[in-house]
Amino acid sequence: MVSTGRLGRAAAICGAILATLVFLFPVIYMVGISFKVPRDIFTVPPRWFSELTFDNYTSYFNQARILPRMLNTVIVAGGAAIISMVAGSMAGYALSRMRMRGAGVVAGLILASRAVPPIALVVPMFLVARRLGLTDQYITVILAYVTFLVPYVVWLMRAFFRSLPPELEEAAMIDGCNRFGAFFRIIVPCSLPGLVSTLIYCIILAWEELLFALILTNDKAVTIPVAIAGIAADTEHGGLWGPLSAVGVLTVLPVVVFALAVQKYLVKGLADGATKG
Amino acid sequence: MAPALVLLAGMLLYPIIYTVWVSLSDFDLSTFQPSGWVGWKNYEAVLADPGFLQSLKVTGVYLVVALPLQMVLGFGLAFLLNVEWRGRGLLRALFLIPMVVAPVVAGGVWRMLLDPLWGVVNYALGLVGVGPVEWIGDPTLAMVSLILIDTWRWTPFVVLIASAGIMALPSDVYEAARSDGANRWQTLRHVTVPLLVPVVAAAFVVRWLGAVKMFDIALAATKGGPGQATDVVNLYIYEKGFRGLEFGSASSMATVVLLITMIITYFLFRISRRLENRW
Amino acid sequence: MRRFLRLGAVVTAFGLTLAGCGSSTTEAPADGGGLGTAESPVSIRVIANDAFAKQWQDQLVPEFAKKHPNIKVTVDGVPYNDQLAKSMLELTSPTATYDVILGDDPWFPQLAKTGGLVDLKTDLAKFTDAGYAWDDFNPSPLAAGQWDGHQYGVPVRSNLLLMFYNRELYKKAKVAEPTSETTWEQYFADAPKLVQDTDGDGKPDAWAVGTYFTKDPLTPTIWQTVLNSNGGRLLDDDLKVSFDDDAGVKALQTQIDLLKYAPPGASTYQFNEPLEAFRQGKVATMFMWGSVYKGTAIDKATTTLSEDQVGITTLPAGSAGPGAHRGIWSAGVAKKSAHQAAAWTFLQWVTSKEGEQWVGANLGTFPARDSTLQGTPPAPWLKPVYEAITKGYEAISKGQMWRPRLPESDAVQQILALQTSRAMSGQAPAKDAVHQAAVDISALLKSKGYAQ
């Protein structure tokens, strides 16, 4: 893209590293705390370690049932993100292409549904789930998350699709594809960076959601943020910053690993030259 | 498009109608259902509640400062992170972390960093002879801190979307621009920016709706205090509903916020549509 | 678009039918669901706070199972901030998910008002063990489970605000250690001396006090205690606001004045921060929940202090006596529970003389029974703690040192929290904050039908 001189390039790389470090500083601090004994966490002046400990990782691992709850979180976040991506990107595509009357209104309504304060949604959702006997089930939490993810997917994907020239699928349709075929064979591959970014965003939002998870689950489907809130609000023992940071680190890791794994799809090139041929 | 609509209609319409219904009635805690119809009474009380009005104001200040800051910072960083080198993918993945840290933990860590007695930030400032600064204890600085934390947390989202947008830019356009002899500034002004407008607008609107609903970080970092200095409207509603169990007035407030947000969102649409059409 | 609207209408109608249609509530069986047999054990579920749910499940429940192998107990934990709302949602359900409901001190009127709890003394008398000694409970913690003349809960985890002090910092400052007789005047006379420079670098590095100062419903409990220990009350017997006077202002001003002798940044102190400041030897006194004693004086992993460095007593005395503030977790039985007998059997065991001994020795929970408090503590270090608790209970009963006993208790505490924070951060003088709190609370109670 924009050609930059060798010097500019080096400066940009340094800038990127520096910016990442600045943004990661609180995270590095958190990782530090997770290996500290409690008496080292609050000190004047701040000090790193008088001794290293893994207790924060081990002691609360069972206490807060981290492993099953992590699994729940993966199921819920993954399920919600996938459903939202499928439903939302199709709607986003339709809204970006179809010149139908009221498309703008529908797009607006979909997005504006996100303006409802979550507290107003969670109680009625709980009441309905209870009436259907669906509390404490994955599907309930997944559907709840889908409602807040879909509008974002629709909106973001609509923007990404709009930046693709319409000639792309027109060509495919002349070649005998129907709209669906054109969408899956041409549009989806061409907008991979957008799809992947949106997917990452969906997973992150579902990953750290607290309020709905808290109200809609009791035991079986409880997710990590609920466990974290429980440790944080422990007014019996106090000073739980070590375990809290440790759980914080543990919850961050899977998302970073996932993000690294999908990095290769976050590359430019697929859309390139597609219009030339 | 149909599947998305069915899902949304199914999951959202009832809760919204329920909320409006509760907001117009007396909430009976013994059944957790709305009971008697009270008309506009809850709304009158809510609109005369100085706490609610104050929280709207606080939310406004936070949005006006935080959103543009995050957008500019996010797109700037996305350009920096777009330079091709081997560590780029790693940096991009690491950049996601602030979003992933649970709000309670993030708020707590920031409180520790900013503490005047044992916080690292004040320690560093102390080395150069400044401070100690009451980052969270002072009403004005508490707002600064809240915006700082929120910006730390959500700029990565803008970076994520902006990076994808930048990458999706077709390179043949640039080749054309270069062959036309455009310099870097002209390319940015006439090629990059127009092509990015839909993505910028979408990122802004998504961030706007996310920011309106923000309350977890405020709850974890400042508790909305001191006084009401950082009491954003969703925190105020949350505390009214979930701590004070005032569901009638909480629902009225939620409806008012919904209306205001929809109106502003409508105007944002109009603006973004106009921007998209202009280029 | 039209299809969309039609669909929406259908879905909405469906939702309304779901939520609106008659809620058929289940009646509890007359035999309370029995206590189970080896062939068909009964299961009960407990909704508790996350802070101790796992501890109960892993330690308390197996111990109970030794006595009652046919009652299976599951304990679900909920984070504190949302536990009340969650419990309310569960209690108002047409069928009971939970048989046993745990609630913090101010929650019981709200939980009871749903009509979802039974009176343990009367409704469940038929399932009560003959040896279960109600009279042995100290009246102060027992009252936390009472509302409107009924006993809806029994104390399962007792706690109260006490004054912790660091003997070494007192000695360094050459100040006499506080006792239950120390008055607020005396305390403030000593406070400047307790802000001291212990390492001789010319800058103060130890301060007098750490406690709640931030915007939090628990922060006003400090000045509420001061008010109570001067004989004042938040609400009078007719539930009319009675603190909008000099006594109220003086009480709030006391807490504001404490800030002068607290470490830098103390205005943001909630629960963890003062605790850490005390454990690091940075503050000479701390007004805090007694339950933190073990982690503050005994557990080497969490504290830099040792047992002989940490003193514990009641909060400084006002004109009517020493101060303390009640924070009791009580447990009740759900009215819609199909296993009331088993649920109550579980609670009886936990709160029996024997159960309380076991809980005290193994979980470190404070007792609510006089016999436990006066008996030999399960560990020697508990001796001064039990003495402080006994004195604290006395003060609490005498000065009615608890949060308002109303279904609107938390809403009242929210108003107090906001106005306290305004005064604490200098956004309003104490007099204005107290007045505004009084006006807001009065308006709130009036809107709920109380005569004001």
Q: How far is C265 from chain B (nearest CA, A)?
A: 5
Give the pLDDT score at A63: 67
Chain C residues lying within 8 Å of A39, measured CB to CB: 279-280, 301-304
Beta-strand pair C71-78/C42-49: parallel
Inform me whether the pLDDT recorded for B143 exceeds 70: yes
C282 CB neighbours in chain A (<8 A) are 44
Measured in residues, chain B has a length of 279
Give the C-alpha separation, A157 to A154, whole Å: 5
Question: Residue A270 pLDDT > 70, yes or no?
Answer: no
Nearest chain B CA: its distance from C343 CA (Å): 22
User: Least CB-CB distance to C421: which of B6, B134, B225?
Assistant: B225
Chains near C, with 3+ CB pairs < 8 A?
A: A, B
Strand pairing partners for C164? C286, C312
- Which carries the bigger pLDDT value, residue B37 or residue C232? C232
C217–B contact, CB cutoff 8 A: yes
8 A C-beta contact, residue C285 and residue C164: yes
Backbone angles phi, psi at C25, to 5 degrees: -85, 145
Give the CA count within 13 Å in the CB-facing half-sphere of A39.
Answer: 17
Instruction: Look at residue A29 and tell me if it is in a domain.
Output: no
Chain A residue nearest residue C158, CA to CA = A236
Phi, psi values for residue C146, rounded to 5°: -100, 145
**What is the rounded CA–CA span in Å between residue A90 and residue B7?**
13
DSSP bridge pairs for C48: C77
| Average pLDDT score over residue span A75-102 | 84
Partner-chain residue, chosen from A39, A226, A238, that has the shortest CB–CB distance to C271: A238
% residues pLDDT > 70 (chain C)? 94
Task: Indicate yes or no: CB of A117 within 8 angstroms of CB of B234.
Answer: yes
Distance from CA of A266 to the nearest CA of B (A): 7
Q: How confident is the model at residue A272 (pLDDT cuts 50, 70, 90)?
A: very low
Q: Give B144: exposed, middle or buried? Use CB within 10 Å, 0-12, 13-18, 19+.
A: middle
Beta carbons of C89 and A126 less than 8 Å apart: yes
Per CB-CB distance under 8 Å, the chain C contacts of B13 are: 8, 11-12, 15
Q: Cβ atoms within 10 A of the Cβ of C306, count?
A: 12
From residue B198, give the alpha-carbon distance in Å to each of A100, A103, A229, B70, C103. Answer: 19, 16, 37, 17, 51
- Say what the pLDDT of residue C22 is: 40
- The pLDDT of residue A67 is above 50: yes
Higher pLDDT, C93 or C168: C168
Question: B177 to chain A: nearest residue by CA?
Answer: A2
Give the angle subtended at the CA of B100 by the CAs of A62 and A79, to the nearest 5°. Answer: 80
pLDDT tens profile C172-222: 999 999 999 999 999 999 999 999 998 888 888 899 999 999 999 999 999
Query: Nearest by CB to B13, which of C8, C85, C216?
Result: C8
How high does pLDDT run on average in chain C? 89
The whole-number average pLDDT for the span A55-75 is 82
CATH number of the domain at B258, please: 1.10.3720.10
Contacts of B240 in chain C (CB under 8 A): 414
Identity of the residue in B92, B98, B234 whose CB atom sits nearest the CB atom of A263 = B92
Average pLDDT over residues C157-183: 94
- Tell me which of B75-84, C109-118, C394-403, C415-424 is least confident: B75-84
Backbone dihedral angles phi then psi of residue A82, each to the nearest 5 degrees? -65, -50
Q: How confident is the model at residue A42 (pLDDT cuts 50, 70, 90)?
A: confident
Give C-chain residues touching A236 at CB under 8 angstroms.
Answer: 49, 51-52, 157, 159, 291-292
pLDDT band at residue B74 under the 50/70/90 scheme: very high
CA nearest to B244 within chain C: C411
Q: What angle do CA B164, B167, B173 make, to 5 degrees?
A: 140
pLDDT the model gives residue B268: 84
Which residues does C200 contact at the CB level (< 8 Å), separation at least 6? none
Query: Would you state the pLDDT for residue B1?
Result: 55
Listing from the earlier edge strand, what are the strands of the sheet with C42-49?
C71-78, C42-49, C100-103, C329-333, C154-157
If you average pLDDT over residues A151-169, what whole number do you get? Answer: 81
Residue A126 confidence class, pLDDT cut points 50, 70, 90: confident
Q: Please tell me the predicted confidence (pLDDT) of residue B262.
A: 85
Is residue B200 situated within a structural domain?
yes
Selected for mutation to probe chain A from C24, C87, C269, C276 (highest A CB count within 10 Å) is C276
User: Residue C81's Cα: distance from chain center in Å?
Assistant: 13
Rounded to a whole number, what is the distance in Å from the CA of C45 to chain A's nearest CA?
11
A33: distance to nearest CA of chain B, Å? 9
Return the number of other C-beta atoms located less than 10 Å from residue B234's C-beta: 25
pLDDT at A235: 65
Backbone angles phi, psi at C164, to 5 degrees: -95, 140
In-domain check, residue B202? yes
Domain that residue A174 falls in? 64-265
Whether residue B108 is contained in a domain is answered as yes
Separation of CA B83 from chain center: 28
Angstrom distances, CA of residue C439 to CA of A152, B243, C240, C403: 43, 20, 11, 18
Nearest by CB: A130 against C93, C276, C303: C93
Measure the CA–CA gap between B74 and B201, rounded to whole angstroms: 13
3-state helix, strand, coil in chain A (%, to 5): 75, 0, 25
> Per the domain annotation, does B71 fall within a domain?
yes
Report all structural domains of chain C as residue ranges with CATH numbers, in order of start. 28-158+327-375 (3.40.190.10), 160-326+400-447 (3.40.190.10)
Q: What is the pLDDT of residue C253?
A: 96
Question: Domain total for chain A?
Answer: 1
Contact indicator for C71, C61 with CB cutoff of 8 Å: no
Which pLDDT band holds residue C23 (cuts at 50, 70, 90)? very low
Chain A nearest CA to C163, separation (Å): 16
Interface test with chain A among B5, B6, B12, by most A beta carbons within 10 Å: B12
Where does the pLDDT of residue B165 fall: very low under 50, low under 70, confident under 90, or very high at 90 and above?
confident
Whether residue A113 is contained in a domain is answered as: yes
Is B127 inside a domain boundary? yes
Q: Tokens standing for B253?
A: 């407030």
Of the two residues A230 and C132, the one the predictor is more confident about is C132
Tell me the shortest Cα–Cα distance from A64 to chain C, in angstroms: 7
Closest residue in B to A92 (Cα–Cα): B1
Task: Give the count of domains, chain B.
Answer: 1
- Pick among A131, A215, A231 to test the C interface (most C CBs inside 10 A): A131
Contact between chains at A104 and B269 (C-beta distance less than 8 A):
yes
Question: Min CA distance, B270 vs chain C (Å)?
Answer: 21
* CATH number (domain holding residue A79): 1.10.3720.10
Whether A42 has its CB under 8 Å from any CB of chain C: the answer is yes
Q: Is A274 on the interface with C (CB under 8 A)?
A: no
Contact C406, C239 (CB under 8 A): yes
Residue B192 maps to a domain: yes
Domain assignment present for B213:
yes
CB pairs under 8 A between A and B: 322
A102 touches chain C (CB under 8 A): yes
pLDDT number for residue B198: 82
Interface touch A112/B102, C-beta < 8 Å: no
Tell me whether residue B120 is exposed, middle or buried, using C-beta atoms within 10 angstroms of its C-beta: 0 to 12, 13 to 18, 19 or more. Answer: middle
Residue A26 belongs to some domain of the structure: no
- Asked if A236 and C19 come within 8 Å (Cβ–Cβ), the reply is no
Domain that holds residue B135: 36-278
Q: Is B243–C267 a contact, with Cβ atoms under 8 angstroms apart?
A: no
Average pLDDT over residues B93-116: 89
Give mean pLDDT, residues A100-111. 69
The answer to whether C418 contacts B227, with C-beta atoms less than 8 Å apart, is yes
Nearest CA among A232, A100, B119 for reference residue C51: A232
Of C265, C266, C421, the CB nearest to B227: C421
What is the model's pLDDT at position A267?
Answer: 59
DSSP C263: P
The pair phi, psi for residue B24, each rounded to 5°, is -105, 5
Residues of chain A contacting residue B161, judged by C-beta atoms under 8 Å apart: 156, 197-198, 201
Q: Tell me the average pLDDT across C254-282.
A: 91
**Chain B residue closest in CA terms to C117:** B30
pLDDT value at residue C17: 45
Summarize pLDDT for A133-155 with one digit per residue, the tens: 888 889 999 988 988 888 889 88
CB C141 within 8 A of CB C327: no
Indicate if the pLDDT at residue A277 is higher than 50. Answer: no
Chain A: residue nearest C292 by CA? Answer: A237
CB contact under 8 A, A41 and B166: no
Helix intervals (H) in C184-236: 184-194, 220-229
Question: Tens of pLDDT along A250-268?
Answer: 889 998 888 888 877 765 5
Q: Which residues of C fall within a CB distance of 8 Å from A231?
A: 50
CB contact, 8 Å: C274 with chain B?
no
With bands split at pLDDT 50, 70 and 90, how would you rate the model's confidence at C19?
Answer: very low
Is the pLDDT higher at B171 or at C355?
Answer: C355
Within an 8 Å CB–CB cutoff, is residue A43 touching chain B? yes
pLDDT tens-digit map of A178-205: 777 777 777 787 788 888 889 999 999 9
In this structure, is residue A129 part of a structural domain?
yes
Distance CA B44, CA B23 (A): 11
Angle formed at CA C62 by CA C59 and CA C66, multiple of 5 degrees:
135
Does residue B223 sit in helix, strand or coil? coil
pLDDT of residue A236: 67
Is the pLDDT at C8 greater than 60, yes or no?
no
pLDDT for C108 equals 94
For residue B91, the tally of other CB atoms under 10 A from its CB is 21
With cut-offs at 50, 70 and 90, classify the pLDDT of residue B40: confident
